[in-house]
Amino acid sequence: MSGLEVSHVSYSYAAGGRKALDDVSFSVAPGRFCALLGLNGAGKSTLYALLTRLIVAPEGHIGIAGYDVARAPLKALARIGVVFQQPTLDLDMTVRRNLAYFAGLHGLSGRSAEAAIDAALDRLAMRERSGEKVRSLNGGHRRRMEIARALIPDPEVILLDEPTVGLDAAARRAITEHVHQLAETGPAVLWATHLVDEIGPDDQVVVLHKGRVLADGSAAELSGGSTLAERFMEMTGGKSEEAA
């Protein structure tokens, strides 16, 4: 299987210190939407930093589209689309200029860049906004634009780190639906969240708590006879690292 593979990954920020990630293993198949469900401090952002090689895992294996992130980092990273928690847009450029700049970073220019930009904007229903300055967009449209940007290199794995933070309910729903539809077109999607209402019954769910994987299965399987929210509360005690 390609897609995303994480195997026995551990990480501590300080030598000998507490593990932010402790023997984490799971995989996401192509075409799957996987929610990485965890409270504050669970280790979600640390995992994303390792997947994107912002930091390097001393232990374990990370595979992206069949490439080992440690042994073939350029090939692996070229197949990832990332939406980080903090927006990174130039507010005074138009949507299209922002995307064109990013396309250039990926070696695309001219007609191939335009085609990739149009296709990405269409997938997020954002084409009609392409001439607007980012500053004039609302939070939901800015986020959609960042997701469109992540699609430009036609990634096989898409990583989103709590992409709905700060958005209202309608924008949250729209983005969640768009990304579920995206997964159906082929890429493996990893969506970090602490909000169970962003997860559908057929989605894969990996529950991360205090650096460990507590559960991995479909939302329906994990819910059992109760709701996913109840099961998540039972597993974690509803307490984040900060609150504990």
Ligand X SMILES: Nc1ncnc2c1ncn2[C@@H]1O[C@H](COP(=O)(O)OP(=O)(O)OP(=O)(O)O)[C@@H](O)[C@H]1O
Which residues in the 204-243 window bind ligand X by CB under 6 A?
Answer: 241
Question: In the stretch 62-101, what mask flags binding to ligand X with x, by CB under 6 A?
Answer: ----------------------------------------
Binding segment for ligand X (CB under 6 A), chosen from 35-43, 62-70, 89-97, 110-118, is 35-43
Handedness of CA 23, 229, 33, 130 (dihedral sign): negative
Binding segment for ligand X (CB under 6 A), chosen from 42-50, 125-133, 183-191, 231-239, is 42-50
Cβ proximity to ligand X: between 70 and 195 the closer is 195
Q: Which residue type does 143 have?
A: R
3-state DSSP helix/strand/coil % of the chain, to nearest 5: 35, 25, 35
- Residue 57 within binding range of ligand X, rule CB under 6 A: no
Q: Which residue type does 145 have?
A: M
Token couple for 103: 């396309």
Binding segment for ligand X (CB under 6 A), chosen from 39-47, 62-70, 216-224, 228-236, is 39-47
Handedness of CA 55, 2, 208, 22 (dihedral sign): negative
Residue 133 DSSP label:
B
Which residues in the 161-200 window bind ligand X by CB under 6 A?
Answer: none
- Residue 13 within binding range of ligand X, rule CB under 6 A: yes
How far apart are alpha carbons 159 and 195 in whole angstroms? 16
Residues that bind ligand X (CB under 6 A): 13, 20, 38, 40-46, 241
